[in-house]
Structure 1
Amino acid sequence: MTPRIAPPPLPSFRGRLHDARTATSIGRWLGLAITVCFLTGVISHYLQHPPNWLVDVLPSRPSWGYRLTQGLHVASGIAAIPLLMAKLWAVYPRLFVSPPLRSVRHALERLSVAVLVAAGVFQLFSGLLNIVEWYPWPFAFVPVHFAVAWLLAGALLLHIVVKWLEIRSHWGRGSTGPRAPAAEDEPDRRSLLTGIAAGVGAVTLTTVGQSFTPLKEFDLLAPRHPDHGTQGLPVNRTAAAAGVTASSAGNWRLTVAGPRPYGLTLPELNALPQVEVRLPIACVEGWSVEARWTGVRIRDLLERAGAPPRSRVRVVSLERAGAYRVMEMGSTYAADSLTLLALRLNGQVLSLDHGFPARIIAPNRPGVLQTKWVGRLEVL
């Protein structure tokens, strides 16, 4: 008879470093990453979907503002993933204590932990899938991601309040809490934290180059490289995906609707005074790159149409469908001297994938609002 082989014991996860000191040390880094990610995410959301009262208040300068905030948003979100995994490893034994509820305070603590873990895992991994443009869920990503971000922020705040006394007692080098770690654990704890820091550093170094171009040579894991794409820039939405063809763009005529409406063919638009600006294009997926754009100032086109001062403008694309086929631009952007109806990129006529015959380029704006294949401008 073949002897039965006993299955290996399940891991107990009750080693010496599953303590409050280790959890607090990791939690400081994780809390900082989530805070940066949350604040920059709120900025991104309101730049993409501003309420009516905010449309004309949003600043167009600094021109690189969105590039910075969205780069930080994606970088801090990616860095938070290994930190969250390490944090869960450190607190794993305490997630299944018995009895599960011992008091009102303990119930609040358990509730905050449950919501915090669920919201944290959802936010970080759905955000990671968003930057690779994979959406294996039936709901709209943007509103759900924004709503859960506030849920995560509230759960984190509640957790800090409930656990503050324990956090404070384990914050510094010399823990004073009732479960103060043994001195002999410190070398192992330092090794663990060093390994976590190295992992976070490696993940950040190999992805942040998609927005921080001095590190683009290390951009090994990011879904975009700032130099790869048509005319040296990445392309998120191609002309084929938007339903725009060379023939549909070939019969193009720009319509400018306002008190004095008019239309322009491409040769007529090229005959107008041309302006060249250096502006970054920064996408919500985290990549960004600066380029030279040449075209006609939006404010000059609106002025010719008799637009009153501080007018907004609605931009309509030739694309057949899409969440951003129609875009509205506040008066601050419309009046900025850097905001162009661009016709050329880095000295070359726009390719079809980059928005030929004309596209919007404006400072401090998300890439999804830099409308391509512009067919109509409407003074609001």
Structure 2
Amino acid sequence: MVRRAEPLTPSYVPRFKSRLHDERVAAWLGIWLGVAFTSAFVTGLISHFMQQPPGWLMWPSRPVNLYRVTQGLHVIGGLATIPLLLAKMWTVYPRLFQWPPVRSVGHAVERALIFVLVGAALFQVVTGLLNISYWYAFPFFFTSAHYWTAYILVGALVIHVVNKWPKVHRTVMKHPEDGLNRRGFLLGVAAASGTVAVTMVGEAFSPLAKVALLAPRRPGVGPQGVPVNRSAYAAGVSLAAANDPAWRLQVTGRVQRELSFSLEELQALPSHSARLPIACVEGWSAGATWQGIRLRDLLHMAGVAEDARVRLISMEVRGIFRTSWVSSRHWHDPLTLLALSVNGETLDLDHGFPCRLIAPNRPGVHQTKWVRQVIVV
């Protein structure tokens, strides 16, 4: 005789009779979500501290594609959690209708923590989705809000796992009875998450670019075959300003000798090339071959200390990333260039003409475009 699955609590109203609302389905979805949120949290911390490193932390310049991989995993994996989160919420939503809504002080605290967990998860997913779509419909700074809410989410998740683990372990380990519907439901949710991942991963993995239907940027689509996240127009850099004969690249600060180069003088210096990706916080990335002057060669010409930090100033007239810092590890790397061309062509204005930074294992927001000044500190 096959027994029907027990409901989540005996106090649910009769209309919630589907076995898909039972503890076993909720437990498996919870495990998957726990893995997904942990991955997103770890890769999110990497992204945050690469963009805003504390003074004691210097990220390595190798491997070249580290940020490309971790940020792609963060965004693509985060989007793949949407079907999991929706399925989990649908599975457990009958709990909202249990009566009485609060049975004790401990039960009230538990429900409040679940409210925090669900609210933080929805906030992260929704704001993250809006961010990669470049639709900032909220009045707060996305980066800070996303970062601090991640701690709230993980804290609530840890408490929830500790509280529910005995029940989850017991439920998952027991032999399922009449589990065909459950198995089909879970496979369907997994397929939905997989579909989201496949239709996004092409934004970071070029061989799948043709199926990247949900990606905001695709490799190969953009000026000179490289996508653009922030155009010259958005940055307030005009073609006339970039082509101004009076433009000079200046190297100043704590140097033995200050340097100043016109574009023609830069082009006359020894040129090097590097195959490096542009990897952005929205998860997309694209590789290209860049040509220009090694930053370390320029700094050695100026005479700088080996442990010096370098600040690059852009021609941008607005934007929070019009300056960026380059650590000694990065400027010592021979792949770090002040690029003058990409894929064999002079830089397009949207790619940072007349001069831009390109360095390995570095977020795209710090690959400063339209560079006009290098300050050694």
Asked if structure 2 preserves the Cα contact closer than 8 Å seen for 1:40 and 1:72, the reply is: yes
Partner residue in 2 for 1:213: 206
- In the TM superposition, 1:82-231 aligns within 5 A as 82-172=83-173, 174=174, 183-184=177-178, 186-231=179-224
Question: In the alignment, does 2:18 pair up with 1:15?
Answer: yes
Asked if structure 2 preserves the Cα contact closer than 8 Å seen for 1:105 and 1:162, the reply is: no
Q: Name which of structure 1's ranges 119-128 and 254-263 shifts more when overlaid on structure 2.
A: 254-263
The whole-number CA distance in structure 1 between the counterparts of 2:338 and 2:194 is 40
The whole-number CA distance in structure 1 between the counterparts of 2:136 and 2:30 is 29
- 3-state SS of 1:304 partner: helix
Q: Aligned-pair distance for 1:105? A: 3.8
The whole-number CA distance in structure 2 between the counterparts of 1:113 and 1:95 is 11
Partner residue in 2 for 1:347: 344
Q: Name which of structure 1's ranges 163-172 and 116-125 shifts more when overlaid on structure 2.
A: 163-172
The whole-number CA distance in structure 1 between the counterparts of 2:190 and 2:14 is 24
The whole-number CA distance in structure 1 between the counterparts of 2:140 and 2:280 is 21
Asked if structure 1 preserves the Cα contact closer than 8 Å seen for 2:19 and 2:182, the reply is: no
Asked if structure 2 preserves the Cα contact closer than 8 Å seen for 1:311 and 1:334, the reply is: no
Question: In the alignment, does 2:360 pair up with 1:360?
Answer: no
- 3-state SS of 2:288 partner: strand
The whole-number CA distance in structure 2 between the counterparts of 1:286 and 1:321 is 24
In structure 2, give the amino acid aligned to 1:200.
Answer: S
Question: In the alignment, does 2:39 pair up with 1:29?
Answer: no
Q: Name which of structure 1's ranges 24-33 and 90-99 shifts more when overlaid on structure 2.
A: 90-99
Q: Name which of structure 1's ranges 32-41 and 96-105 shifts more when overlaid on structure 2.
A: 96-105
Aligned equivalent of 1:282, options 279, 283, 288: 279
Partner residue in 1 for 2:316: 319
- 3-state SS of 2:338 partner: strand
Partner residue in 2 for 1:377: 374
Q: Which runs of 5+ in 2 are unaligned?
A: 1-12
The whole-number CA distance in structure 1 between the counterparts of 2:231 and 2:14 is 49
Partner residue in 1 for 2:75: 74
Q: Which runs of 5+ in 1 are unaligned?
A: 1-9, 176-180
The whole-number CA distance in structure 1 between the counterparts of 2:204 and 2:105 is 46
Q: Aligned-pair distance for 1:112? A: 2.1
The whole-number CA distance in structure 2 between the counterparts of 1:263 and 1:109 is 64
Q: Aligned-pair distance for 1:215? A: 1.3
The whole-number CA distance in structure 2 between the counterparts of 1:13 and 1:268 is 76
The whole-number CA distance in structure 1 between the counterparts of 2:362 and 2:97 is 46
Partner residue in 1 for 2:60: 59
The whole-number CA distance in structure 2 between the counterparts of 1:40 and 1:149 is 11
The whole-number CA distance in structure 2 between the counterparts of 1:13 and 1:60 is 55
Partner residue in 2 for 1:329: 326
Partner residue in 1 for 2:270: 273
In structure 1, give the amino acid aligned to 2:312.
Answer: V
User: Could you list the per-position Cα deviations for residues 152-191 of structure 1 after superposition, in whole angstroms to 9, with x for gaps in the alignment?
Assistant: 010100100111111111223x25xxxxx6x12x000011
The whole-number CA distance in structure 1 between the counterparts of 2:15 and 2:320 is 49
Question: In the alignment, does 2:35 pair up with 1:42?
Answer: no
The whole-number CA distance in structure 2 between the counterparts of 1:287 and 1:305 is 36
- 3-state SS of 2:350 partner: coil
- 3-state SS of 1:353 partner: helix
Asked if structure 2 preserves the Cα contact closer than 8 Å seen for 1:13 and 1:92, the reply is: no
Question: In the alignment, does 2:240 pair up with 1:254?
Answer: no
| TM-score normalised by length of structure 2 | 0.93
The whole-number CA distance in structure 2 between the counterparts of 1:30 and 1:133 is 26
The whole-number CA distance in structure 2 between the counterparts of 1:157 and 1:253 is 54
The whole-number CA distance in structure 2 between the counterparts of 1:146 and 1:52 is 19
User: Could you list the per-position Cα deviations for residues 227-275 of structure 1 after superposition, in whole angstroms to 9, with x for gaps in the alignment?
Assistant: 1111111111111111111110112210110321110001110111111
Question: How many matched pairs?
Answer: 361
Asked if structure 2 preserves the Cα contact closer than 8 Å seen for 1:310 and 1:331, the reply is: yes
